[in-house]
Amino acid sequence: MSAETLARWQFGITTVYHFFFVPITIALSMLVAIMQTIWVRTGDEKMLRLTKFYGKLFLINFAMGLVTGIVQEFQFGMNWSEYSRFVGDIFGAPLALEALLAFFLESVFIGLWIFGWDRLPKKVHLATIWLASVGTMISAIFILAANSWMQNPVGATYNPITDRAEMTSLLDVLLNPVALVTLPHILSTAYMTAGGLVLGIAGWHLAKLAKVANPSEKQQKDISAYTWATKFGAWVLLGAGVATIITGDIQGKIMTEVQPMKMAAAEALWETEQPAAFSLLTIGTLDGSREVFSIKIPMVLSFLATGTFDGKVEGINPLAKEYAAGRLISPDNRLQQEAAERLTASGLLANPSDWVPNIPVTYWTFRIMMGLGFLAMAIGAFVLWTLRKGLPKDSKLWTSLMWTAPLAPLFGISFGWIFTEMGRQPFIVNGVLPVAAAESPGVSAWEVATTMVLYTVIYGALAVVAIALFMHYLKLGLPDVVEPEVLTDDDAPLTFAY
Amino acid sequence: MIALAIEPTVLQTLWFILIAVLWIGYLVLEGFDYGVAMLIPFLGRNDKEKRVIVNTIGPVWDGNQVWLLTAGGATFAAFPGWYATLFSGLYLPLFLVLVGLIIRGIAFEYRSKHPEAKWRNSFDWMASIGSFIVALVFGVGFANFIIGLPVAPDTTSSFLYVVTPSPYFWQLFSWFGLLGGVTLVALFLFHGSLYLALKTKGEVHDRARAFAEKAGFVAIGLGAVFLLAQQFVHPTGVLGWVLLVLSAAGLLAAWWFNKQDRNGLAFISTAVTILFVAIGIFLTMWPGLGFKDAAGAVDSPLNVVTAASTEGTLTVMTVAAVIFVPIVLAYTSWTYWVFRRRLGVENMPDEVVAAA
């Protein structure tokens, strides 16, 4: 395998792995902040117990997101040095701003939150988790602006003297239409995941407690807390689910405009159709040559892509042919216009087939993403329906639903990312720089291979430890709490220490 | 000092200084938590003592680490050419740094989550070894920036410079490179044990002080050799010698104050040493950014001018830095104020409270 292929795999593996922890960090921090706020305002002990319980699970997850995130920031320079040089004038800024505005906020205030229970007055301590949570969202703004720029490189010009892309406006980069819709989409899916997690864990405990014939006073308290959390999680999951659908729909229309090939690839739509049917699933090959069986819904793809039921959706074959002949992906995009000559001269995309992403991957990841999202929403609705009539019955079905509630949106997000990144191929910067021209020339295949094996071993070992810890505390359930007080005696034991 | 074909602009100069500041922040702050973490298995005789040690850095290490990430991000934004060539050129050393950061990062959070001695010892060793690796590699790295990493234009894109010959790995471990690595480890151990003495009371405090006295000897010895060698490897004139004297004075003062049990002053003294050593190193990296021409020309082809972003990007980044760096400094200082109390075994609750 070439260094480029290995570097692609390395980026894929480390990024997908890192992003398992990101949605929970972003959204669970906020849900915990909400729980703690209710506790501070009402003094309800139940809310303090929930805060500490989900807070601990959040921290186990946060540590993993933190250490795997450092790899991400280094990886651009390590594996993709020509990319870093070519786009650094634009792409580096959001990364630096992310560190300065978001990482400091998150890290410092998480530290204050963990260790500050008996050092800070109640309301100041509450503010720390809010600030940390806001930090995670600021981080999302910048990193998604950076990624959206790779999908739709706005606010930039090509400078032939330095042979690189240069920034014309940071505001254009941050207000990229792709970024503006990707941000709420990703945040919504993060809340689906965290909502599903709160729901799943509480619902699982609830069903166990429902079996107890004569619950003790403590068990009754637990039931009350878990019932609240199950419903809360379900509402978050459903609300975020609706937001995910709406933002996803807008995303589809913008994608059709700035990345029509990705839209066609999502559907394995080989020839242009008007009106275009939405393919629910296909059995057979996806190369357009042989279709054994498929279910299609007429006109739906036209609506998804263009907003009208008779809109034209361009197919893979005509697009690839025209691109290879010199058609620009976004004719109004300044960087794509100016770098067109450079792209042709590279000779990397001379044939129409060079312009086509991996269709089976884009087709199926797109469907699995949506399917998992709808599944999670269905579970949320089912749980709310069940709880109307009292406590749930413990059953294998219930347990598997509780597992699926967080895992479906979590994996849905992974498939969504794989779709959006694979659908951008062969480009690393859409219409400007092919991935093949972006790697580090000085890094050999064996270096990438060696580090990839070691990353995989380390990440695998970390997963075992983190999942074991997560399961341990998940099963322990709600902790007993003492009302935290600000310590004044220097020799008194702390109420919390590592 | 070398004259460049094109004079650096004000913003290019400013961002070189800012990146140096970020590195200094990282070395001073995370330097002590590397030192402390390296010492967990050695200075804690029982679990409570180890917990005292861990808790002195528990609330702050994560924020300290962000200085490194910000230095990396700022390098990417302000000097993409520097970031691209350095990070790909030092591929394997940076991988080692990442491994070190991963295993130590996870250790602090996870050690407390399970009471078993074996579990905790494993994480203590991960914190210790991880911190050691990172300190060692950065020491070797900075020594090599002083020597200069040889770069040549890439064969396909003449605008991209590549560290040659590649892979450039064993070449890093010259005697001077190794000396840099060992010296930084010793310096962090000294700095960290002084921090520990400052933040603890009772037996842990006494032991940290006693260790600092020994670590101080080693750090002073190695520091002297390294600083003198630096003047011969890459002389920077009178200024270099002034910085050498200031760095050495900091080390000696730290040792003296520690002997007097003046923990705050001792800690500030090693911080001052790190500051002046770093200034000295960044002085040698101006304007070539720690690179040199593989073909043997006097000037590095990759330098503060050729590696820089556009003036437009540097301008918006400057605005952001002017607004947010003071804010970050303010809340970071406040955190240190909140956790200002010394810790002793009597402060450790018997059970690790099973709560966030």
Count of positions (residues) in chain B: 356
Whether residue B198 is predicted with pLDDT greater than 60 in this model: the reply is: yes
Asked if A161 and A342 count as a contact pair (C-beta separation under 8 A), the reply is no
* Residue B311: how many other CB atoms lie within 10 Å: 12
pLDDT at A325 over 70: yes
Determine the residue among A49, A57, A81 to mutate to test chain B binding: the one whose Cβ has the most chain B Cβ atoms within 10 Å.
A81
Judged by a CB distance cut-off of 8 A, whether residue B356 touches chain A is yes
* DSSP H or E stretch at residue A475: helix A445-476
Residue A157 pairs in a beta bridge with: A166
**pLDDT score of A133 more than 70:** yes
Interatomic CA distance for residues B77 and A73, integer angstroms: 12
- Name the residue in chain B with its Cα closest to that of A478: B355
Q: Which residues of A touch B339 (CB under 8 A)?
A: 115, 119
For residue A134, the 8-state DSSP code is: H
Q: Touching check for B328 and chain A: CB below 8 Å? A: yes
Contacts of B38 (CB under 8 A, 6+ apart): B128, B131, B132, B135, B185, B188, B189, B192
Residue A203 confidence (pLDDT) above 90:
yes
State the Cα angle at A137 between A134 and A142, rounded to 5°. 130
Neighbours of A299 (CB within 10 A): 18
Is the CB of B83 less than 8 angstroms away from the CB of A494?
Answer: no
What confidence score (pLDDT) does residue B1 get?
Answer: 45
Q: To the nearest whole angstrom, how far is the Cα of A8 from the nearest Cα of chain B?
A: 15
The token pair that represents A100 in the structure block: 């300065």
Nearest to A477 by CA among B349, B351, B354: B354
User: What is the per-residue pLDDT for A293?
Assistant: 76
Q: In the structure, what pLDDT confidence band is assigned to residue A482 with cuts at 50, 70 and 90? A: confident
Tokens of residue A274, six digits: 């008007």
pLDDT score at A289: 58
Task: Decide if pLDDT at B75 tops 70.
Answer: yes
- Our measurement of the distance from residue A293's CA atom to the centroid of its chain's CA atoms, rounded to an integer in Å, reads 32
Q: Rounded to an integer, what distance in angstroms lies between the CA atom of residue A68 and that of residue A71?
A: 6
Distance between CA atoms of residues B265 and B269, nearest Å? 6
- Cα–Cα distance for residue pair B57/B52, rounded to 1 Å: 9
Question: Residue B21: is it exposed, middle or buried by C-beta count within 10 angstroms (0-12/13-18/19+)?
Answer: middle
User: Cis ω on the peptide bond leading into residue B167 (within 30° of 0)?
Assistant: yes
B154: closest CA of chain A, how far (Å)? 7
Nearest of A113, A114, A143 to residue A130 by alpha carbon: A113
Residue B234's pLDDT is 86
CA B191 – CA B198 distance, rounded (Å): 11
Predicted pLDDT at A47: 97
Tokens of A47: 């809310």
- Residue A474's nearest CA partner among A61, A48, A71 is A61
Question: Residue B354 above 50 pLDDT?
Answer: no
Asked whether the beta carbons of residue A119 and residue B339 sit closer than 8 angstroms, the reply is yes
| pLDDT score of A490 more than 90 | no
- Diameter of chain A by CA atoms? 80
Residue type, A52: K
**Average per-residue pLDDT in chain B?**
94
Whether a cis peptide bond, with omega within 30° of 0, leads into A275 is yes
With a CB cutoff of 8 Å and minimum separation 6, the contacts of B19 are B71, B74, B75, B78, B79
Residue contact A498–B54, C-beta within 8 A: yes
Q: Count H helices, E strands: chain A?
A: 16, 6
User: Which residues in chain B are contacts of A113 at CB distance < 8 A?
Assistant: 356
What tokens does B18 get?
């800012």
Give CA–CA dist B74/A448, Å, rounded: 25
pLDDT computed for residue A330 by the predictor: 95
Cross-strand bridge partners of residue A313: A273
What tokens were used for A53? Answer: 């319980």
Smallest Cβ–Cβ distance between B89 and the set A64, A89, A442 belongs to A442
H-run or E-run covering A109 = helix A104-115
What confidence score (pLDDT) does residue B213 get?
97
Q: Of the candidates A107, A166, A493, which has its C-beta nearest B346's C-beta?
A: A493
Contacts of A107 in chain B (CB under 8 A): 62-63, 65-66
Residue A211: count other Cβ atoms within 10 Å of its Cβ: 10
Q: What is the pLDDT of residue B3?
A: 55
Residues of B in contact with A91 (CB under 8 A): 76
Chain-centroid distance, C-alpha B122: 25
As a whole-number percent, the residues of chain A with pLDDT over 70 amount to: 98
By C-alpha distance, which of A397, A386, A399, A385 is closest to A208?
Answer: A399
pLDDT at A359 over 80: yes
Pick the residue from chain A with its C-alpha nearest to B155.
A441
Output the 3-class SS for chain B: CCCCCCCCCHHHHHHHHHHHHHHHHHHHHHHHHHHHHHHHHHHCCCHHHHHHHHHHHCCCHHHHHHHHHHHHHHHHHHCHHHHHHHHHHCHHHHHHHHHHHHHHHHHHHHHCCCCCHHHHHHHHHHHHHHHHHHHHHHHHHHHHHHHCEEEEECCCCCCCEEECCCCCCHHHCCHHHHHHHHHHHHHHHHHHHHHHHHHECHHHHHHHHHHHHHHHHHHHHHHHHHHHHHHHHCCCHHHHHHHHHHHHHHHHHHHHHHHCCCHHHHHHHHHHHHHHHHHHHHHHCCCCCCEEECCCCCCCCCCCCCCCCCHHHHHHHHHHHHHHHHHHHHHHHHHHHHCCCCECHHHCCCCCCCCC
What value does the mean pLDDT take over residues A192-201? 98
Would you state the pLDDT for residue A288? 62
pLDDT band for position B4 (cuts 50, 70, 90):
low
Q: Nearest-CA distance from B250 to chain A in Å?
A: 29
CA-nearest residue to A438 within chain B is B157
Residue A283 banded pLDDT, cuts 50, 70, 90: confident
Q: Which residues, including other chains, have CB under 8 Å from residue A50's CB and lie 6 or more apart?
A: A35, A225, A228, A229, A478
Averaged pLDDT, A348-375:
95
Q: How far is A389 from chain B (nearest CA, A)?
A: 33
| Torsion angles phi and psi, residue B4, rounded to 5 | -90, 155
CATH assignment of B11-340, among 2.60.40.10, 3.40.50.880, 1.20.1630.10, 2.30.40.10: 1.20.1630.10
Task: Outline where A389-422 has alpha helix (H).
Answer: 396-422
Extract the tokens encoding A113.
Answer: 């939150």
State whether residue B113 sits within 8 Å of chain A by CB: yes
Q: Which contacts (CB < 8 Å, 24+ apart) does range A475-478 have? A: A476/B354, A477/A53, A477/A205, A477/A222, A478/A49, A478/A50, A478/A53, A478/A205, A478/A222, A478/A225, A478/A226
**Cβ neighbour number for residue B43 with a 10 Å cutoff:** 22
- CB B169, CB B92: distance < 8 Å: yes
Mark residue B123 as left, alpha or beta (left: phi above 0; alpha: psi -120 to 50; beta: remaining).
Answer: alpha
The span from the CA of A113 to the CA of A136, in Å, is 14
- List, in order, residues 6 or more apart from A388 with CB less than 8 Å away: none
- Quote the mean pLDDT of chain A: 94
Taking CA–CA distances from A101, the nearest residue in chain B reads B324
Q: What is the average per-residue pLDDT within B161-189?
A: 95
* Contact status, residue B20 vs residue B279, Cβ threshold 8 Å: yes
Q: Which residue has the higher pLDDT, A289 or A22?
A: A22
Nearest 5°: the CA angle A473, A474, A478 is: 85
* Residue ranges covered by each domain of chain B: 11-340
- pLDDT band, residue B9 (cuts 50/70/90): very high
ipTM of the complex: 0.94
List pLDDT tens digits, range A407-460.
999 999 999 999 999 999 999 999 999 999 999 998 999 999 999 999 999 999
Q: What is the 3-state secondary structure (H, E, C) of B159-204?
A: CCEEECCCCCCHHHCCHHHHHHHHHHHHHHHHHHHHHHHHHECHHH
B103 interaction partners in chain A (CB closer than 8 Å): 458
